[in-house]
Amino acid sequence: MSSLSLSAEAPSAPPAAVDGVWLECIDCGDAYAPFESVRYTCDCGSLLEVRYDELPTWDAFDGRGVWRYSAALPFEEGVSLPEGDTQFHRVPRLEDEVGVESLRIKHEGMNPTGSFKDRGMTVGVRTAQELGVGRLACASTGNTSAALAAYGARAGLETLVLLPAGKVAAGKVAQASLHGARILEVDGNFDTCLDIVQDLADRGEAYLLNSLNPFRLEGQKTIGLEILEAHKEDYGEYPDRIVLPVGNAGNTAALYKCFRELVQAGAMDRDEVPKLTGVQAAGAAPMVEAIEEGADETRRWDHVETVATAIRIGNPVNAPKALPGIRETGGTAVAVEDDAITQAQRDLAGEGVGVEPASAASLAGLRKLRERGDVADDERVVCLTTGHLLKDPDAAAAAGADPEPVPGDTAGVLDHLGS
């Protein structure tokens, strides 16, 4: 049975494990010591996961934010700003409109640099310290670069980010720049940037902190833990479904790992596992294609386009971890058009929740699945919103109303308001 199955037994430590922690290939099962050398993938070419011989759960957690869950992470503490403990909004009007039993918004845009990437970076940069590496690097549609720049700065490490030229929202470039990253604007899309940065990492030029790095996903696992805890407290049960935007499918993989470890630990029944539901923009939807076709791999899309630039990705590297997650939890994947994303962004904003376009894809996807009859009336649903409205001020301004020029006197303003 695949170690990625929800029914897989809890693993036991191989000789390579150090203090009960090791890296394990999701395909061939080869194990590696976690911090002996820099390694992102298995010698067979497949993806690695961090594995533990003990899986502490709810009783072992204490404090707030990502490091509340340190018992389920490879370190006691990390390079922290601090991150996690994000809002879990009620959205009564949207809940009514969508017509499900309950709808909550987990707003990951409220992390220190405005996206969920901070959860991954607090662990990822701590890992870099453990390995004693020099320069940190990532390819990015923007948010990863902002997080890497900030956490790298905090740790006093040099950072290098590769961005697709002209396709990164203004707020994100500004963050990477001010936090001190060296920014390379690449003539190509995100997938090209990732190819290059992987080559640089393989040549020892930099330590890779994209979600291909298994340690980053450990931090992102805590999104799931926070949602489950808060949902149980409010409703006495776990959510039936979690809907999230998908780019490289790192979060999808991380949430699935969170659920799998809880099941293996005996802390959650298999039938309590939320259905993982991925949403992509129609112009960049290789994961949706793979789910619809029942494929085990995604096909690389060379031409991708969407207003949701954060998820403008044609070659989701974590697909081998995420596709089983969607399937084994009984979830699905759906593609949404840009105008539906923008409308969802407006409607979330109308509930006071300011998100960037990629984030709004989750609500747009839920709406589409409701229309299709793929989500039942009695479901309790959580939508993940991954980045803050201010990340992409141009998209927000374009989606919102235009400012109205008025004269600089009260009479003139009154006149304008009356007209």
User: Which chain residues interact with ligand F0G by CB under 6 A?
Assistant: 115, 117, 140-144, 211, 245-251, 310-311, 356, 358-359, 386-387
What's the start-to-end Cα distance of the chain, in Å? 70
Query: Looking at beta carbons only, is 53 or 192 nearer to ligand F0G?
Result: 192
Angle formed by the axes of helices 319-328 and 286-293, nearest 10°: 50
Query: Looking at beta carbons only, is 31 or 73 nearer to ligand F0G?
Result: 73
Query: Looking at beta carbons only, is 42 or 148 nearer to ligand F0G?
Result: 148
Residue 140 CB, shortest distance to ligand F0G, in Å, is 3
Query: Looking at beta carbons only, is 189 or 386 nearer to ligand F0G?
Result: 386
Q: Measured between alpha carbons, how far is 122 from 68 in angstroms, rounded to an integer?
A: 13
φ, ψ at 116 (rounded to 5°): -65, -15
Residue 257 CB, shortest distance to ligand F0G, in Å, is 12
Helix (H, G, I), strand (E, B) or coil at 144: helix
What are the C-alpha distances in Å from 366 to residues 93, 285, 313? 15, 16, 21
Residue 239 CB, shortest distance to ligand F0G, in Å, is 19
Residue 22 CB, shortest distance to ligand F0G, in Å, is 23
Range list of H helices, 236-378: 250-264, 286-293, 319-328, 338-349, 357-371
Which residue, 30, 36, 71, 75, is CA-closest to 48? Answer: 30
Q: Which residues have CB under 8 Å from 142's CB, separation 6+? A: 163, 168, 169, 171, 172, 173, 176, 309, 310, 391
Query: Looking at beta carbons only, is 22 or 321 nearer to ligand F0G?
Result: 321
φ, ψ at 289 (rounded to 5°): -60, -45
Kindly report the CA angle at 55 between 74 and 48, in degrees rounded to 5? Answer: 55
Residue 285 CB, shortest distance to ligand F0G, in Å, is 12
Query: Looking at beta carbons only, is 102 or 144 nearer to ligand F0G?
Result: 144
Residue 191 CB, shortest distance to ligand F0G, in Å, is 10
